C-alpha cells in the first residue's frame, strides 16, 4: 500500500474566521512561532536587564543602593533560569522549530495544530507565573538557577517563602507546554514530510531540532519530578531531598532525604538541556553557513550522525556538573570519559563548518557574519569545556568564574549568535521585508567583539580563584586588587553589549513595516521554505499542491547547473536545462 | 575581509592576553602540583587547537570571500579527510584524559594512615573537629544540634569524649603532613575551598564527604565557601594556618575536648553584680545604655554575644583600631574582667536587668528600610531578635545610635578587620550593602518598628 504522508491526506485545515483567530488564538504554526519568539525575546530582555544589574554590582561594588545581596541572588537565579529555559529552549524549539519544521518538510502545518496552539498559551502561562514571583512578598527565589535544596526552600535564601514555589510551579507548567509542542515536532518530522523528503534529505536544522526535541521529551520529566518532589518537601513536609538539619537555630522535622538525589535529577535534565539549546543552534548555523558560502554543507552524513551521537551521549555525562558535589568520587572516572568522548562528534561538527567555508564563495551578509562568529566563540567555549569535563582539571576551576565564562561562551554567546544569524536569515521570509543592513552590521560588531571582551578575561578571574555567585569579594588575600579593575572593565563591556541589543530590536520593528520588500528567496537558498508560492507564506503554506522533493538540501554551486543553487523541489531536468521555476 | 582580519587579531590578541595577563593561579601550597600539570597540558593542547582552527577559519574567510565571478567548489564529502580528523581528535582526547584520570585516582585514594580533620560548615561560618588522642571521631546526631551542643555530639559515644572542638573560623594544620579532610554541613550545601591547596569539595547535610592534601608551606590561607548557601554566602570566610609541627600542637592543645566543654561552673550573679559596678558608670545601673557617654544598652542582649565581644576586647580583636575612639575606651574596662569566670558572672548579672526598649533616636524611611532588612534578617532574624546559630546579636530594642555607629565602623574598616574578629569580618562584608547614611538610617528605622 502506498504511504500517504499526513500532510498529503485529504483533510481540511482549520481556517481562521476572524482577526482574533488569525493572529491571537491561532493554530497556524507560523503565527505560533512568532508568538513564541516575541514572548521569549521579551522575557529574555528582562533577564538581560538583570544581568546588567549584577554586572553593576560586580564592577562597581559599594555604589548602588538598590542592589543588596538579597536582590543580587534573585537576579542571579532569575537571569539563569529565564535565559536557559524561557528564552533559549522556547525560542529554538517553540520559535524556530515551529516556523521551520512544517515549511522545511513541505507540510501544511504541524500534525496537531490545536495542541500546538495550546502549547504556546501554556508556555505563556508558565512565563506569567514566573514573572508573578516578582510581585509577591519576598520576591522571586534567589537559590541560584540550579535550585539546589535544602537551601532553595529554607529561610536565609531569598524567596524561600513563595518565590521558589512559583518557580517550581512555573517549571512544571513549562514542561507541560514543551511536551505538547515537542510531541508535535516529533510526529510532524516522522509523519508529515512531503513526497521525496527522505530522512537523509532533511536540512540539518530539522535533524537538530528533531533530536533536541527527543532529548527534551526524555530529559524534562526528570526536572518535572524534582519540581514536584521539592514542592512536596516544602508544602507537605516530606523529605525527598531534606536530611535532618538545622535552620535558623532550630532543628527541622525533615529526616533522611538526599540533597544529592536532587542534583542527579536536575543534571539528568540539565545536561541534555545544554544540547536541547546547542543542537538547534548547530542545525540552524549549518544551514546559514552553507547557504551564504554557496557551498554544500561538508560531510552531511557525518553531521547527521554527529547530531545523533551527541544527543545519545548527552544522557550519560550529567554528573560532570557534580565532580565536587560529594557524590561517590569513583563516578568521576566514568563521567570524565563520557564527557571527553562527546567532544569528538562535537569537534567533527566544527571541522565540517570550517570545511564548508573552505573553497566556498563566502557572502559576508549579516546572518553570515553572525554564523562565522559563532564558529569562533563555539570553538572557544568548546575547548574550555575540555578543562571542566576532565574531572581533576575541573577541581580547581569548579565554582569559579571560569565556569561562568565557559558556559556563557558555549551556551550563552554561541547560541545567541546563532539566534541572530537565524533571525536575520529568515526575517525576509517571515515578514516579507528586508532588514536594515547597516544596523545589522553595527549590531553584529558590537555584540561579537563586546561579548568576547566580556568572557575572555572572565576565564582569568576563574584561574585567579574568584568564586562565582559572590555578591562582593571583600578582601581575599590571594586575589589581587587588579581583579576589581578587570571586573569593572567587564561590566563596561557588558553595558555596551546590552545596549547594542536595542539596535537589533529597533531594526526588527522598523524593518517589519518600513523595510524594503524582500523577494521570495533573497539569499538563493535551496530549502523548501524559500520556495513557497507566497512570501510571507499563507496559512497552509503551499497553495493547492504540495512541493515534491527531488534532492538533498545542499545543492549549492553544483557543476553544470544553471544557477549556483538548486532548490530541493526542482526536478533534475530543470536544474541543468533552462527551465527554472521562477 | 574585515572579519578575516578581526578573527586573526582576536586569536593573536587572546594569546597575548594569556601570556601577558597577570591573572593566573595563586602559588600552590600543597602536594597537588600534578593538578597544575594537568591544567597546563590541557592549556597547551586546547590552545594549539584554538589557534590552528581559528586561523584556518580566518584564512578561509579571507581566501574564499565572494569575488566577481568566483564560484564555490562542489565537494559534499571527503571520507578520508573526515576519518583522519576523527582519529586525530580522538588521540588528542586520550592525551588529555589519561593524565587527568591518573591524577584523579590519586585524589580519590587517600594514603594509608593519613590524619583526619573534620570541617563543619553552617550558615555562614566554619568550625572544626579533631579526633583527639584515640584518633577516632565520636558520632554526631543532627537531631542534637542545639545551643548547648552546637556540634551535635552524641553524649554516649566514648569515642567522642576526647574529640577536640574548635569553635572558631580558623584552623591550624601541620606542614608536610598529609591530611584527610572530612566535610560535614549542619544545614545546606557548602564547599570548602582553599585556592592554594587546589582541591575543594562540597559539604552535604546528611553525608560526610572527603578530600585530602598535604600542605607544603607554612602560612595563612583564606577559606572560601564555593557552593551557594544563601544570602550571606559570600561572607562565609574561614582561615587555614599551616604551622610547623610544634606550633600546631601548641595551638591544638589550647582547645577543649568535648568532655571539657561539658563541665560548666554555674555563674555567680552576686559576684557579677559587684563586677558590674565598673560597667554601670557608663552603661547605667539598669544596663540601659547612655548615648551621651557612647555606651550602648546591654540589658536584653544575648549572653553569648556579650561574652564574645568582651573576649574580643580583651584579646585586642576589638577596641584597638586607632580610629575606634569609644572602643579604645572600652578595651581597658573589659580588661578588668580577669578571667572567664568573671566574664560569665558579669553577664549573668546583666541577664537579670530589666529589658526596656531603648528610645528611638534615628529617623529614616522604615518602608524602604524593610526592603533592605530582608538581607539582614537571614542572620539577625526577621524579628531582629538575633539567632545563636548565625552568631548574630539582637538588634530590636537595642540602642539605635550605637547600631548606626557600628555599621559605619564596619564599613570603614574600623571594626571587623582584625584577624581574630572573624565574625566581625563577616558583618563588615555585609555592612557594605548599606551604601550611605540614608540606607543606614532607613534600615535602623525599620528595626525600631520591630
Q: Write the burial class of residue A517 (CB in 10 Å: 0-12 exposed, 13-18 middle, 19+ buried).
A: exposed
Tallying the residues shown for chain A, one arrives at 582
Contact A557 B71 (CB under 8 A): yes
Spatial separation of the C-alpha atoms in residues A17 and B395, rounded to whole Å: 66
Q: What is the pLDDT of residue B68?
A: 87
CA distance, residue B67 to nearest chain A CA (Å): 8
Q: What is the pLDDT of residue A2?
A: 52
Interchain CB contact of A5 with B (< 8 Å): no
Residues of chain A predicted below pLDDT 70: 1-14, 576-582
Q: What is the pLDDT of residue B250?
A: 97
| Cα separation values, B429 from A61, A488, B409, Å | 11, 19, 12
Interchain CB contact of B191 with A (< 8 Å): yes
DSSP element (H, E) containing A250: strand A250-251
Q: What are the cell numbers at B188?
A: 545546606
The residues pairing with B212 across neighbouring beta strands, listed in sequence order, are B180
Q: What are the cell numbers at B171?
A: 584552623
CA distance, residue B185 to nearest chain A CA (Å): 9
Interface of B with A in 413-442 (CB under 8 A): 428-430, 432-436, 438-439
Interface of A with B in 383-422 (CB under 8 A): 383-384, 386-387, 390-393, 395-400
Contact A464 B203 (CB under 8 A): no
Q: What is the pLDDT of residue A5?
A: 52
Angle ∠(B316,B318,B323) on CA atoms, nearest 5: 110
**Residue in chain A lying closest to B372 (CA):** A68
Q: What is the pLDDT of residue A9?
A: 57
Angle ∠(B338,B344,B345) on CA atoms, nearest 5: 85
Distance of CA A160 to the CA centre of its chain: 28
Residues of chain A in contact with residue B17, where contact means CB-CB under 8 angstroms, are 456-457, 460
Spatial separation of the C-alpha atoms in residues B396 and B400, rounded to whole Å: 9
Distance of CA B57 to the CA centre of its chain: 46
Q: What does each of the 450 residues of chain B score in pLDDT, given as a tens digit?
A: 899 999 999 999 999 999 998 999 999 999 999 999 999 999 999 999 999 999 999 999 999 999 988 899 999 999 999 999 999 999 999 999 999 999 999 999 999 999 999 999 999 999 999 999 999 999 999 999 999 999 999 999 999 999 999 999 999 999 999 999 999 999 999 999 999 999 999 999 999 999 999 999 999 999 999 999 999 999 999 999 999 999 999 999 999 999 999 998 888 999 999 999 999 999 999 999 999 999 999 999 999 999 999 999 999 999 999 999 999 999 999 999 999 999 999 999 999 999 999 999 999 999 999 999 999 999 999 999 999 999 999 999 999 999 999 999 999 999 999 989 989 999 999 999 999 999 999 999 999 999
| Order of strands across the sheet that contains B170-174 | B170-174, B237-243, B219-225, B190-193, B200-203
Contact A359 B96 (CB under 8 A): no
CA distance, residue B285 to nearest chain A CA (Å): 32
Write the CB contacts of A27 (distance below 8 Å, at least 6 apart in sequence).
Answer: A14, A16, A109, A113, A114, A116, A117
Question: What are residue A278's phi and psi, to 5 degrees?
Answer: -75, -40
Answer for the pair A156, B230: CB distance below 8 angstroms, yes or no: yes
Nearest to A337 by CA among B94, B39, B41, B47: B94
CA distance, residue A226 to nearest chain B CA (Å): 17
Question: What are residue B134's phi and psi, to 5 degrees?
Answer: -75, -10
Instruction: Select the residue of A156, A246, A474 nearest B231 (Cβ to Cβ).
Output: A156
Answer for the pair A205, A284: CB distance below 8 angstroms, yes or no: yes
Answer for the pair B185, B122: CB distance below 8 angstroms, yes or no: yes
Write the CB contacts of A234 (distance below 8 Å, at least 6 apart in sequence).
Answer: A153, A164, A165
Helix (H, G, I), strand (E, B) or coil at B153: strand
Contact A150 B189 (CB under 8 A): yes
Interchain CB contact of A477 with B (< 8 Å): yes
B57-85 in b/e form (b: 16+ CB < 10 A) is bbbbbeebbbeeeebbebbbeeeeebeeb
DSSP-derived secondary structure for B319-379: S-STT-HHHHHHHHHHHTS-SHHHHHHHHHHHTTS--PPPPP-----HHHHHHHHHHHHHH
DSSP-derived secondary structure for A364-398: --HHHHHHHHHHHHHHHHHHHHHHHHSHHHHHHHT
Interchain CB contact of B75 with A (< 8 Å): yes
DSSP state of B60: H
Helix (H, G, I), strand (E, B) or coil at B395: coil
Q: What are the cell numbers at B224?
A: 572560601
Helix (H, G, I), strand (E, B) or coil at B132: coil
Contact A329 B107 (CB under 8 A): yes
Nearest to A80 by CA among A46, A36, A111: A46
Nearest to A320 by CA among A266, A372, A391, A223: A391
Spatial separation of the C-alpha atoms in residues B10 and A377, rounded to whole Å: 11
**Residue in chain B lying closest to A474 (CA):** B429
Pairing type for strands B170-174 and B237-243 reads parallel
Contact B57 A478 (CB under 8 A): no
Nearest to A423 by CA among A96, A115, A145: A96
Interchain CB contact of A578 with B (< 8 Å): no
Q: What is the pLDDT of residue A13?
A: 63
HSE-CB at A437 with a 13 A cutoff on CA atoms is 7
Instruction: Select the residue of B53, B209, B234 nearest A379 (Cβ to Cβ).
Output: B53
**Residue in chain B lying closest to A559 (CA):** B74
Q: What is the pLDDT of residue B217?
A: 96
Residues of chain B in contact with residue A301, where contact means CB-CB under 8 angstroms, are 77
Q: Where are the alpha helices (DSSP H) in A398-478?
A: 401-407, 414-431, 437-464
**Residue in chain B lying closest to A298 (CA):** B76
DSSP element (H, E) containing B311: helix B303-315
Q: Write the burial class of residue B341 (CB in 10 Å: 0-12 exposed, 13-18 middle, 19+ buried).
A: middle
Q: Write the burial class of residue B321 (CB in 10 Å: 0-12 exposed, 13-18 middle, 19+ buried).
A: middle
Please name the residue that has the C-alpha cell 575612639.
B325
Q: Write the burial class of residue A105 (CB in 10 Å: 0-12 exposed, 13-18 middle, 19+ buried).
A: buried
Spatial separation of the C-alpha atoms in residues A569 and A193, rounded to whole Å: 13
Spatial separation of the C-alpha atoms in residues B213 and B179, rounded to whole Å: 6
Interchain CB contact of A293 with B (< 8 Å): yes
**Residue in chain B lying closest to A478 (CA):** B26
CA distance, residue B336 to nearest chain A CA (Å): 33
Q: What is the pLDDT of residue A579?
A: 42
Answer for the pair A241, A257: CB distance below 8 angstroms, yes or no: yes
Spatial separation of the C-alpha atoms in residues A435 and A564, rounded to whole Å: 24
Amino acid at each position: 500500500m502506498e504511504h500517504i504522508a499526513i500532510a498529503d491526506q485529504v483533510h481540511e485545515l482549520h481556517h481562521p474566521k476572524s482577526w482574533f483567530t488569525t493572529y491571537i488564538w491561532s493554530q497556524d504554526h507560523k503565527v505560533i512561532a512568532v508568538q513564541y519568539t516575541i514572548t521569549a525575546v521579551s522575557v529574555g530582555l528582562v533577564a538581560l536587564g538583570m544581568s546588567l544589574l549584577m554586572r553593576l554590582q560586580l564592577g562597581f561594588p559599594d555604589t548602588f543602593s538598590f542592589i543588596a545581596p538579597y536582590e543580587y541572588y534573585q537576579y542571579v537565579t532569575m537571569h539563569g533560569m529565564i535565559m536557559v529555559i524561557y528564552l533559549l529552549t522556547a525560542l529554538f524549539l517553540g520559535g524556530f522549530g515551529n516556523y521551520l519544521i512544517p515549511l522545511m518538510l513541505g507540510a501544511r502545518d504541524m500534525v496537531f495544530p490545536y495542541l500546538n496552539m495550546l502549547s504556546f498559551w501554556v508556555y505563556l502561562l508558565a512565563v506569567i507565573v514566573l514573572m508573578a514571583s516578582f510581585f509577591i512578598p519576598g520576591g522571586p527565589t534567589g537559590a541560584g538557577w540550579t535550585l539546589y535544596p535544602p537551601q532553595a526552600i529554607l529561610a536565609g535564601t531569598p524567596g524561600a517563602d513563595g518565590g521558589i514555589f512559583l518557580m517550581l510551579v512555573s517549571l512544571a507548567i513549562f514542561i507541560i507546554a514543551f511536551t505538547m509542542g515537542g510531541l508535535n515536532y516529533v510526529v510532524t518530522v516522522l509523519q508529515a514530510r512531503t513526497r521525496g523528503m527522505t530522512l537523509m534529505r532533511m536540512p540539518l536544522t530539522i535533524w537538530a531540532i528533531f533530536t533536541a526535541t527527543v532529548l527534551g521529551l526524555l530529559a524534562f520529566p526528570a526536572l518535572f519530578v524534582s519540581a514536584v518532589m521539592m514542592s512536596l518537601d516544602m508544602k507537605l513536609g516530606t523529605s525527598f531531598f531534606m536530611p535532618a538539619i538545622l535552620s535558623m537555630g532550630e532543628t527541622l522535622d525533615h529526616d533522611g532525604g538526599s540533597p544529592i538525589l536532587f542534583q542527579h535529577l536536575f543534571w539528568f535534565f540539565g545536561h541534555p538541556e545544554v544540547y536541547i539549546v546547542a543542537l538547534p543552534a548547530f542545525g540552524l548555523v549549518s544551514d546559514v553557513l552553507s547557504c551564504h558560502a554557496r557551498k554544500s554543507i561538508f560531510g552531511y552524513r557525518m553531521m547527521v550522525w554527529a547530531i545523533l551521537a551527541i544527543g545519545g551521549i548527552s544522557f550519560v555525562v550529567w554528573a560532570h556538573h557534580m565532580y565536587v558535589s560529594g557524590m561517590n568520587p569513583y563516578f568521576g572516572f566514568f563521567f570524565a570519559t563520557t564527557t571527553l568522548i562527546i567532544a569528538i562528534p562535537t569537534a567533527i561538527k566544527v571541522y565540517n563548518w570550517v570545511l564548508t567555508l573552505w573553497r566556498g564563495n563566502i557572502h559576508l551578509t549579516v546572518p553570515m557574519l553572525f554564523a562565522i562568529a559563532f564558529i569562533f566563540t563555539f570553538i572557544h567555549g568548546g575547548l574550555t569545556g575540555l578543562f571542566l569535563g576532565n574531572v581533576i582539571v575541573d577541581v580547581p576551576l569548579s565554582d569559579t568564574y571560569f565556569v561562568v565564562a565557559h558556559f556563557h561562551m558555549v551556551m550563552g554567546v554561541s547560541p545567541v549568535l546563532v539566534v541572530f544569524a537565524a533571525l536575520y536569515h529568515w526575517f525576509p521570509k517571515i515578514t516579507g521585508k528586508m532588514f536594515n543592513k547597516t544596523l545589522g552590521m553595527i549590531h553584529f560588531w558590537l555584540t561579537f567583539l563586546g561579548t568576547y571582551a566580556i568572557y575572555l578575561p572572565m576565564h582569568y578571574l576563574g584561574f585567579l580563584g574568584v568564586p562565582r555567585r559572590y555578591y562582593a569579594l571583600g578582601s581575599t588575600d590571594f586575589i589581587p586588587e587588579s581583579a576589581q579593575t578587570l571586573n569593572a572593565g567587564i561590566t563596561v563591556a557588558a553595558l555596551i553589549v546590552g545596549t547594542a541589543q536595542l539596535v537589533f530590536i529597533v531594526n526588527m520593528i522598523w524593518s517589519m513595516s518600513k523595510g524594503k520588500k524582500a523577494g521570495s528567496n533573497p539569499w538563493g537558498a535551496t530549502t523548501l521554505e524559500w520556495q513557497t508560492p507566497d512570501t510571507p507564506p499563507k496559512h497552509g503554506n503551499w497553495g493547492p499542491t504540495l512541493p515534491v522533493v527531488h534532492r538533498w538540501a545542499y545543492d549549492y554551486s553544483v557543476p553544470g547547473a544553471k544557477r549556483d543553487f538548486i532548490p530541493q523541489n526542482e526536478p533534475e531536468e530543470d536544474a541543468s536545462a533552462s527551465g527554472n521555476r521562477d | 575581509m574585515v572579519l578575516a582580519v578581526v578573527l586573526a587579531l582576536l586569536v593573536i590578541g587572546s594569546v597575548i592576553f594569556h601570556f601577558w595577563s597577570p591573572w593566573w593561579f595563586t602559588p600552590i601550597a600543597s602536594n597537588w602540583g600534578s593538578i597544575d600539570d594537568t591544567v597546563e597540558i590541557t592549556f597547551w593542547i586546547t590552545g594549539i587547537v584554538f589557534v590552528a582552527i581559528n586561523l584556518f577559519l580566518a584564512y578561509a574567510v579571507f581566501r574564499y570571500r565572494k569575488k566577481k565571478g568566483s564560484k564555490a567548489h562542489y565537494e559534499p564529502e571527503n571520507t578520508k579527510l573526515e576519518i583522519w580528523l576523527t582519529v586525530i581528535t580522538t588521540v588528542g582526547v586520550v592525551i588529555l584524559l589519561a593524565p587527568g584520570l591518573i591524577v584523579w585516582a590519586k585524589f580519590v585514594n587517600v594514603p594509608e594512615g593519613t590524619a583526619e580533620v573534620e570541617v563543619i560548615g553552617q550558615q555562614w561560618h566554619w568550625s572544626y573537629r579533631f579526633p583527639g588522642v584515640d584518633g577516632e571521631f565520636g558520632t554526631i546526631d543532627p537531631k542534637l544540634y542545639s545551643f548547648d551542643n552546637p556540634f551535635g555530639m552524641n553524649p554516649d559515644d566514648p569515642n567522642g569524649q576526647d574529640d577536640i572542638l574548635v569553635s572558631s573560623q580558623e584552623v591550624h594544620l601541620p606542614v608536610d603532613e598529609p591530611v584527610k579532610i572530612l566535610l560535614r554541613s549542619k544545614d545546606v550545601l557548602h564547599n570548602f575551598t582553599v585556592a592554594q591547596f587546589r582541591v575543594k569539595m562540597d559539604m552535604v547535610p546528611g553525608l560526610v564527604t572527603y578530600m585530602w592534601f598535604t600542605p607544603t608551606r607554612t602560612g595563612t590561607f583564606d577559606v572560601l565557601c564555593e557552593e551557594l548557601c544563601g544570602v550571606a554566602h559570600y561572607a562565609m570566610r574561614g582561615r587555614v594556618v599551616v604551622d610547623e609541627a610544634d606550633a600546631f600542637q601548641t595551638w591544638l592543645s589550647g582547645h577543649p575536648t568535648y568532655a571539657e566543654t561539658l563541665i560548666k561552673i554555674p555563674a555567680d550573679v552576686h559576684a557579677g553584680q559587684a563586677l558590674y559596678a565598673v560597667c554601670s558608670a557608663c552603661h547605667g545601673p539598669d544596663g540601659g545604655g547612655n548615648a551621651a557617654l557612647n555606651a550602648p544598652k546591654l540589658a536584653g542582649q544575648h549572653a553569648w554575644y556579650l561574652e564574645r565581644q568582651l573576649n574580643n576586647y580583651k584579646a585586642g580583636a576589638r577596641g584597638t583600631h586607632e580610629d575606634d575612639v569609644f572602643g579604645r575606651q572600652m578595651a581597658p574596662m573589659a580588661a578588668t574582667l580577669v578571667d572567664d569566670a568573671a566574664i560569665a558572672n558579669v553577664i549573668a548579672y546583666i541577664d537579670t536587668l530589666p529589658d526596656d526598649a531603648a528610645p528611638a533616636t534615628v529617623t529614616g524611611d522604615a518602608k524602604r528600610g524593610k526592603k533592605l532588612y530582608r538581607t539582614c534578617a537571614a542572620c539577625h532574624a526577621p524579628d531582629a531578635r538575633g539567632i545563636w546559630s548565625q552568631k548574630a546579636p539582637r538588634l530590636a530594642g537595642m540602642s539605635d545610635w550605637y547600631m548606626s555607629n557600628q555599621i559605619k565602623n564596619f564599613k570603614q574598616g574600623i571594626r571587623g578587620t582584625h584577624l581574630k574578629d572573624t565574625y566581625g569580618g563577616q558583618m563588615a562584608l555585609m555592612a557594605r550593602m548599606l551604601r550611605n547614611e540614608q540606607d543606614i538610617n532607613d534600615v535602623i528605622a525599620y528595626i525600631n518598628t520591630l
